Structure 1
Amino acid sequence: MNSDATALLEQLVDRLLSPNSEAVTPIERRKAIQYCRRILGSRVGSTIVEDETHLSGTIQKHILAQNPDQSEGQRRAVLFAQLHTKLQHHAALSKPWAILYFLYALSSKPSHNSTGQAPCHPSGPFNHGLWTHTRGLACLDNASPMPPKPASSTSQPSMAITELSTTDQTSLELSQRSSETATNASLVPLSDRLPTSPDIGEPQLIVDLLFTFQGIDGKYIRFDETRQTFQLKDKLPLSAHTAALATQLATLGGYYRQSKAFVDNKRTDATAGHIAQSLCAFLDQELTKHLEFVATLESQHTPKAAACQRPATSATDPPATPAVTNRLWSVEARSQLTLHRLRAWLVTPTKKLQFMAHLAHECQSLHGSTLLNRIHSFATHGDPFIRDFVHQLMLAVSAPFYDILEHWLFNGELLDPHMESFIITYTDVNRGVWGDKYRLNALSIPVIMPSMLAVKIFNIGKSLNFLRFHCQDHAWISEQCRIMRQDVKLQYSDSFALEVSIDRAYRAMGGRLIDVIFTKYRMMDHFEAMKRYLLLGQGDFAQCLMTSLDSELSRPATRVHKYNVTAALESAIRSSNAFYDDPVITNQLGFGLDIKTPSDLGWDAFELRYTFPAPISYFFPPATLRPYSRLFVFLWKLKSVEHQLTTLWRKLTINARTLRGLSSLRREIHHCHGVTGEMIHFVNQLQYFILYEIIEKAWTQFMHRIDKGITDLDILVSAHQHFLLSISSILVSSKHDYIRALKKLFQDILQFKAIAEQLYDYALTEKYTGRPPSAPAAMVTDAAATIGSDGLGSSSDLQSHLDPLHLAKRRMHNQSDALRKRICQLLESLDSSSEPILRHLALRINYNNHYHWNPRARSQSISHRSGKPQSLPRSHSTSSTSTPTASRSSDPSTSGLK
């Protein structure tokens, strides 16, 4: 304070003390000046609302009340109104309200009576001291030397008023206390300096409640750890109504402690994600606002309310005049807090903190999307205040979630260290880059986002990642990301506009990836190559490959040399139309030997393979191409059977003219020709059915799906998998019985081929040497066993059965019978299948009813499929036994192809 202000303050103190200036000592004058300095330097704000209009009306009412003559009072009130109008238009005055209030306070100060006694409770700007010489300086020794802090400023006026309302003797005793005692007393907590009288008033309870609202124990209200709420102390001298009201208000402190504990625990939790941290930040911000509100309440509350409760005056105090009483209740009482006013003020804060405490309890163990879902569930609350609060909360809490998605959308990278999004990343190098590195967790999609929108966001980021890191399409990506940043705004709001922009970006990104894969990396060429080579769609290549590998694959699989197979594969490419294919395609062809048992031949272990080049191989890892291997093994087996039958037919045709004059084998040769032609017809019909009815049909559907429009590469991969599944479910599925029957039939055909070649070798030997060949030891053993089982023991019978030609004839007829039985079993299995296409295959093979089987089994199978019994007798069936047979003559030697 400068010298001019100090001089003015000293003059003001001298004027206030002028009635008794002769009795004022220099020490008392110095204390009064120091006290005024502390008042001027304090941060205690005025509790009076700066309403100039209201103050003007109050002054006019005061003028009317002070004049008994009504006309005189009205004249003075009108004069005041005119002066007030001039005061408002005076340009030199910046605070006319303060001037009016100061003048009003001076006019309201009561005059001293003849005995020199002061009124009990003066008000106005000088109500903190300096009333009279004997009363105003009595409390100066107890005053704190420093300006009061805002948190404890409300208690000092109460102490001053209490001290000023005591007797002069008590005031003199208080003035003799030392400054050290006053300093120590100022360090005692405010809750322990409350009056200890048996009667607890509302001001003391309100001070305690203000501490409670901040989660701090007061003098009368303590926190109960068992009940987790604030409770009044036992046996307090309070009415039941006051105690219930105070307990009700104290619950706000319990809500504050619960919310504060949740925030503190989550801040120290290293596993808490960004979403949980955002929730804590929002709750902490609301708790800070709550503390600011409590500070406002504390500034509004001053213990002057004790003076407004009209306490009984002492015998030495003069009776309060009506003017003093009206002034106290009109100015001070209206600005004081009471329990009922406090309850009205705390309706909204209590509702907010109660919801925050409930939210903290509900979200204690939640994480990521589950936390968002739990908070969003309150968005449909019936209370509009809660709905608005939840909306603001979701805007803050969902921000980290949308930040993760934005980085995924615009950069193709996932920054989610706490796994709070619905995208999962795997760092295992053995996983596929496209299908396995990133996965969509449908259970982690929050309810604030539609499932289809989440799928599109996932695919956009995955496509962007693939284009950037594997296709090096950087120029297009930079331009597209710039467009998406302007178009896509991820936030908690109406999702309709977001869905439109995401759908636009999804189509652009998916279309670009499809275009790059199809044009730059020629995916369709690779699809067609796999169909032609692995599914044996290019017949000349398959035939050349089989011819080149005939000698090598006839060995045991363990003795097959890979360099010979490699040379045969290259020879087949050069000898067929595959020679004109792009080397990029033919270079992907390879082979493998899948040896399951040591007895496997090379035909059983050989497997042709096709390898996708990068980056197409990322879409089709080896696990997704296993159906190609299974299909190739089946089709290769069928092709090898056809090759063996063709070789046999060529041998029969070449030697037919040579063996024409051999009368002893004429019937057997004719029978061999008939069975061989029958098997060739069966294999050709089966190959035609597989190629055109199954593979080409599935391929046509696959091409139709591509031509229809592929917006996403996952759709293309899914369509290709459906293409493979539609073929493998019919040809290599283990649930079909006809697959096992067909494999056994292939083995029987190869055995028949070996027997037929052996028969022709015997015939050629007899033709060119003129004597019958000797029987091998194995054939002799088989013949002896057959004779023993038939009961033939004569030497002539044994000699006839040991004849090699007779043995060859017998084995041929037995094998041909076995073939026909196997075909009948296969047709029965096909005809009883639930697949219409397989029943069509049975009809195609047996189009002329050449093969017969038990009609009862077929009827039962059809009845089982249709759900009702049916009887379908076959007019051409002549066998009454359950053993499948073929339509032929009773003499096997005269049977042939009909």
Structure 2
Amino acid sequence: MQPTFAGMANPDQRSPNVLLQNLCCLILNKNEADVAQQFQYAVRVIGSNFAPTVERDEFLVAEKIKKELTRQRRDADAALFLELYRKLQSQGTLKNRWSVLYLLLSLTEDPRKASNKGYTTLFAQALPRDAHSTPYYFARPQSLPLNYQDRNPQSGQTSGSMGSSGISSINIHALNGPTPTPQSLNPGQSYQTPGMGDSLRQQLGSRLAWTMTAGQPSLPTSTSKALTNTLVRNVPRTRREGELNGPVEITEAVLVRDILYVFQGIDGKCIKMCNSANCYKVEGKIALSKSLKDTTSRLAELGWLHNKIRQYTDQRSLDRSFGLVGQSFCAALHQELKEYYRLLSVLHSQLQLEDDQGVNLGLESSLTLRRLLVWTYDPKIRLKTLAALVDHCQGRKGGELASAVHAYTKTGDPYMRSLVQHILGLVSHPILNFLYGWIYDGEMEDTYHEFFVASDPTVKTDRLWHDKYTLRKSMIPSFITMDQSRKVLLIGKSINFLHQVCHDQTPTARMIAVTKSSEESPKDAADLLTDLENAFRSKIDAAYLETSKYLLDVLNKNYNLLEHMQAMRRYLLLGQGDFIRHLMDLLKPELVRPATTLYQHNLTGILETAVRATNAQFDNPEILKRLDVRLLEVSAGDTGWDVFSLDYHVDGPIATVFTRECMSHYLRVFNFLWRAKRMEYILTDIWKGHMCNAKLLKSMPELSGVLHQCHVLASEMVHFIHQMQYYITFEVLECSWDELWNKVQQAQDLDHIIAAHEVFLDSVISRCLLDADSRELLNQLRAVFDQIIEFQNAQDSMYRAALEELQLRLQFEERKKQRETEGQWGITSVEEEAENKRISTFQEFIPKMRSQLRILTHFYQGIVQQFLVLLTQSTDESLRFLSFRLDFNEHYKARDPRLRVTLSTKGRRSSHM
């Protein structure tokens, strides 16, 4: 039934109410009586005070109409519209052109946004049963923030009021509810225009022409009709895709919908994951322009990046062996993906609102590929950074994983650096907890071996300091230096050493100035998150200094560490001269015996006698009770001199410094020094015997040559041994000891003392020719010592024979004088013949003695000469100077050309070796 428009014939009835009633009849296609209820509702809507949701901008609406025509590829209609709109502006007869254009654009809205019912049913459904009730208006966001960082989580939700002063305020979403989501579309389904046939287009055309002229001065008929026809054609006809063979053309809106699902790693209808190329691609049967294809590929990269990150987190989140640091890293990635999902939620909401409400008039908010490029620029940078971190962190865990993340903070991009620093702060939380427990309590609960301090539970207490705790260098975070990590190791190791070895249960707060108070812990955590490289520097240094100082005080005061070290120098390194000399005098009768006849308790008694008779008796009883005698392994032909050794018992905390290896070094050095001291003792006895016997044997002039030869050889040996003793005592022991003592006084922790002590022993061993490199020199030196012992035996044998001959001669002369005093003949011919025979036999012994001394001298000088050559070729400057002192009169230099090289030449030669 066609409505009647009586109001249009009578100018007096052109009031707003009459026009509104006529509009209701026109839309519902009913008479005035049948639209009474709808008319009342329309009056309430128009009479409301809702503010408009769009700005009254005529130019913006006209541009929107032009863009909509261009989007539908109706360039000719767009040009015609601009021409008609220009003519409309030039007429000046229409005063409210914005409202007219707005109404025209609303009426020609994309029919895909409508439901399957016609506008008549649509409008009727919008009216409530109670005509006087207030309708509920769905709101839509006015704009969408483009910055990924600043987006509001509530941006995807509806806010504000949608009311407006006109029928246009009733939007399609409010009338018919939301449209189906993209999942409800079947492949190949095209968007239809329900209820919009050609007859409706003709009706809309006539009604629009009436609307433009109703209540306003008349426009030229040609302009009004042309403009109306142009806008009415904006309603697209039904389009079916895929009806023709060949490539399928799709719209950009379909691509946008697919891209939003690709962003989540879900295949779209047109864009799917290509496993061979490892990227998302548009299906080959779909024809796209190069620009759309490039833009789609650039956008689809976000889906690939999302899949890469999501796959890593899904694989590692349930892996318990990945450790706490790894789980923190996965949590940080999940947090970033959550922010990314918020953006996708906003984009989906925007697409949903556009589907429900149509084109957002007055605002450029439609989703396009280029707009998505802008909106996803920052998220793409974040995802690229996260994907790069995932690649770099593959196969890493614990501190190594934190180092991998920290490497990405060294960038000039502040946006990327802030992102990585945030992730690094979360990743480093478990390391922070490990540090707290270790440096404050000495406790470590590292189930998955992530901390850079490793503990070996199989190590016993006596090796706690050396072997139980070590550094895992691969797990040291790159923001912690090696020096800081060593201090962290020492802090916890010192605490455990005090508790387990020293049995010192002093509370941690007393040892460490920086206590783990509830006020400082949150501050430390904040420091770690903001400045990982400097957060713990001061705290670690303070805890290290206080803990180490306390440990050294306990060792020095309670366990006399420094006194034990001095005792080693006095007794095992022969520093206590009066004690060593007296001990050697007391031991001489025992040590000249075969080694198999020695008893340790006898030697221990002699040792106690030597202690009581010298200044050693004033030492600390704790030290003296550790001094003992030790017999080495006996070999065939050994005497007591070869197996005797002093020993020093160590246990408890001081055994950490004087380990078994160190005590074996002390034993080697003592044996060398004891042997050298014995040589000095032997030569002293030789000199005393020579001085005493020289006067006794003046009555035997045939021995003068032999005695002179003995004196010369003994002088050579004394000079050699004195120079060696000077070198060993002063240049080796005293200098090394002074260096050790200075280091010990300046040591900040126990490791410094142990290291200085080891350096001291290594220096003594190497410079005493006891290391592997000096084996040849040591063999030559031992050969010299053997020659000294041979010379002592030869001279003792000569002296015994000479003194025995002297005694017999004195007895013969005494008997001769006694007989003469008695008035008898002094000697008989038989006695004289026997005396002469005995003297001749003794005189025959003298050339043999000379020959033996000559051979001994030759061998001795040959060994010394070879020893000097080896000293000259040494890289140690002090040994080269020793060769100069041993041959001060250049006796050996004249015999061997190899010794004629100057010291400067020796230095240059050694520098090139």
TM-score, normalised by the number of residues in structure 1: 0.68
**Take 1:698 and 1:72, find their aligned partners in 2: how far apart are those partners?**
105
Do residues 749 (structure 1) and 788 (structure 2) align? Answer: yes
Residues 668-719 of structure 1, C-alpha deviations (whole Å, 9 max, x = no match): 3454455445534543443244223332222223333344x32222222232
In the alignment, the residues of structure 1 paired with residue 690 and residue 508 of structure 2 have an alpha-carbon distance, to the nearest angstrom, of 67
> In the alignment, is residue 464 of structure 1 matched against residue 513 of structure 2?
no
Which of 758, 769, 788 is the matching residue for 2:797? 758
Pairing partner for 1:410 from 418, 424, 440: 440
Q: What secondary structure does 1:380 align onto?
A: coil
Instruction: Determine the structure 2 residue equivalent to 1:249.
Output: 299
Alignment of 1:43-62 (within 5 A): 55=53, 57=55
Q: Deviations over 1:806-865 (max 9, x none)?
A: 534432343244334444554555566554544554555555667764263222364642
**Of residues 496, 501, 519 in structure 1, which corresponds to 2:539?**
501
**Displacement of 1:538:** 1.0
For the Cα contact (< 8 Å) 2:631–2:643, is it kept in 1? yes
Task: Provide the residue aligned with 1:449 in structure 2.
Answer: 480
The letter for the 1-side match of 2:317 is: R
What is the aligned partner in structure 2 of residue 395 from structure 1?
A: 425
Q: Retained in 1: the 8 A contact 2:892–2:899?
A: no
Give the CA deviation at 1:476: 5.5
Residue 408 of structure 2 aligns to a residue whose secondary structure is: helix
Does residue 358 of the first structure (1) align with residue 397 of the second (2)? no
Give the structure 1 partner of residue 671 of structure 2.
633
- Using the alignment, how far apart are the partners of 2:291 and 2:863 within structure 1? 100
% identical aligned pairs? 29
The corresponding residue for 1:717 is 754
3-state DSSP class of the match of 1:436? helix
- Partner of 1:364: helix, strand, or coil? coil
Question: d(CA) in 2 for partners of 1:96 and 1:233?
Answer: 38
Q: Equivalent residue for 2:175? A: 126
2:853 corresponding residue in structure 1 = 812
- RMSD between aligned residues: 4.7
> Where do 1:768-779 residues align within 5 Å?
768=807
Letter aligned with residue 687 of structure 1: Q
User: Aligned AA for 1:756?
Assistant: Q
Q: Deviations over 1:304-325 (max 9, x none)?
A: 65995xxxxxxxxxxxxxxxxx
CA displacement at 1:747 relative to structure 2: 0.2
Contact 2:441–2:508 (Cα < 8 Å) also in 1: no
Q: Distance in 1 between matches of 2:274 and 2:803?
A: 113
Residue aligned with 1:615, SS:
helix
Letter in 1 for 2:280: F
Distance 1:422 1:555, change over 3 A: farther
CA–CA distance in 1 between the matches of 2:719 and 2:374?
Answer: 99
DSSP 3-state at the match of 2:443: coil
Distance apart, 1:535 and its partner CA: 0.8
User: How many equivalent residue pairs?
Assistant: 708
Structure-2 change in CA distance of 1:22 and 1:571 (3 Å): farther
Residue 595 (1) aligns with residue 633 (2) = yes
Contact preservation (8 Å) 1:824, 1:853: no
Deviation at 1:399, TM superposition (A): 2.2
Match of 1:290, SS? Answer: helix
Q: How far apart are the structure 1 equivalents of 2:504 and 2:871?
A: 52
Give the secondary-structure state (helix, strand or coil) at the position aligned to 2:272: strand
Q: Which residue of 2 aligns with 1:435?
A: 466
Change in Cα spacing, 1:770 to 1:52, as seen in structure 2 (3 Å) is: farther
Q: Distance in 2 between matches of 1:720 and 1:455?
A: 19
Kept after mapping to 1: 8 A contact 2:138/2:173 = no
- The amino acid of 1:367's aligned partner reads K
Cross-structure match for 1:611: 649
1:771-803 CA-to-partner distances (Å, cap 9, x unmatched) read 99xxxxxxxxxxxxxxxxxxxxxxx9xx97995
Q: CA deviation at 1:530?
A: 0.5
2:592 and 2:641 in contact (8 A); partners too: yes
CA contact 1:432–1:619 (8 Å) conserved in 2: no
CA distance in 2, matches of 1:656, 1:859: 38
For residues 52 and 544 of structure 1, do their structure 2 counterparts lie closer, same or farther at Cα, with a shift above 3 Å needed? farther
1:729 equivalent in structure 2: 766
2:901 is paired with a residue whose SS is helix
The one-letter code sitting in structure 2 at the alignment partner of 1:359 is L
Partner residue, 1:373: 403
Q: Does 1:263 align with 2:307?
A: no
Assess, with a 3 A threshold, how the Cα gap between structure 1 residues 523 and 100 changes in structure 2: closer, same or farther.
closer
The equivalent residue for 2:555 is: 517
C-alpha spacing 1:498/1:52, structure 2 compared with 1 (3 Å) = farther
Alpha-carbon distance between aligned partners in 2 of 1:659 and 1:587, rounded to the nearest angstrom: 49
CA contact (8 A) 1:370 1:446 kept: yes
Shift in Å, 1:233: 1.8
Residue-by-residue CA offset, 1:526-567 (whole Å, 9 max, x unaligned): 111001101111122222333343344334545544344434
Of 820-829 and 261-270, the range deviating more from structure 2 = 820-829
Instruction: Tell me the SS of whatever aligns to 1:491.
Output: helix
Post-superposition offset of 1:745: 1.0
1:59/1:104 contact within 8 Å kept:
no
Cα deviation, residue 403, structure 1: 2.6
**Alpha carbons of 1:765 and 1:256: their partners in 2 closer, same or farther (altered >3 Å)?**
same
Of 515-524 and 198-207, deviating more is 198-207
Aligned to 2:282: 232
Report the 3-state secondary structure (helix = DSSP H, G, I; strand = E; otherwise coil) of the residue aligned with 1:432: helix
How far, CA to CA, are the matches of 1:860 and 1:151 in structure 2?
Answer: 98
- Offset from partner CA, 1:38-81 (integer Å, 9 cap, x none): xxxxxxxxxxxxx986627459999999x98749999xxxxxxx
Q: SS of 1:330's equivalent?
A: coil
Distance 2:880 2:366 in 1: 97
Q: Following TM superposition, by how much is the alpha carbon of 1:203 offset from its aligned partner in structure 2, in angstroms? A: 3.7
Q: For 2:345 and 2:407, locate their aligned partners in 1 and report how far apart those are by CA, in whole Å.
A: 33
Q: Does the 8 A contact of 1:523 with 1:616 survive in 2?
A: yes
Q: 1:249 to 1:54 in 2, by over 3 A?
A: farther
Q: Compared with structure 1, are the counterparts of its residues 164 and 522 closer, same or farther at alpha carbon in structure 2 (3 Å cutoff)? A: farther
Residue pairs, 1:339-354, within 5 angstroms: 339-354=369-384
Distance 1:335 1:819 in 2: 108
Is the contact between residue 641 and residue 746 of structure 1 (CA under 8 Å) also seen in structure 2?
yes
TM-score by length of 2: 0.67
Alpha-carbon deviation of 1:497? Answer: 5.8
CA distance, structure 1, for counterparts of residue 453 and residue 440 of structure 2: 15
Equivalent residues of 1:221, 1:230 under 8 A apart: yes
Structure 2: gaps of 5 or more residues: 1-26, 36-48, 63-87, 100-133, 140-158, 200-238, 244-248, 812-836
- TM-superposed CA distance for 1:522, in Å, is 1.5
Which residue of 2 is the match for residue 860 of structure 1? 901
Q: State the Cα distance separating 1:296 from its structure 2 match.
A: 2.4
Q: Judging changes above 3 Å, is the alpha-carbon distance between structure 1 residues 561 and 589 closer, same or farther for their aligned structure 2 residues? A: same
CA-to-aligned-CA distance 1:382-408 (integer Å, 9 cap, x gap): 433222211211111222233322322
- Is the 2:438–2:444 contact (alpha carbons within 8 Å) kept by the matching residues of 1? yes
Give the corresponding residue for 2:816.
none
Which residue identity is paired with 1:432? Answer: R
Aligned AA (2:860): L
Cα deviation 1:698-745 (Å, max 9, x = unaligned): 2223333344x3222222223223333333332124545653332111
How far, CA to CA, are the matches of 2:842 and 2:894 in structure 1? 32
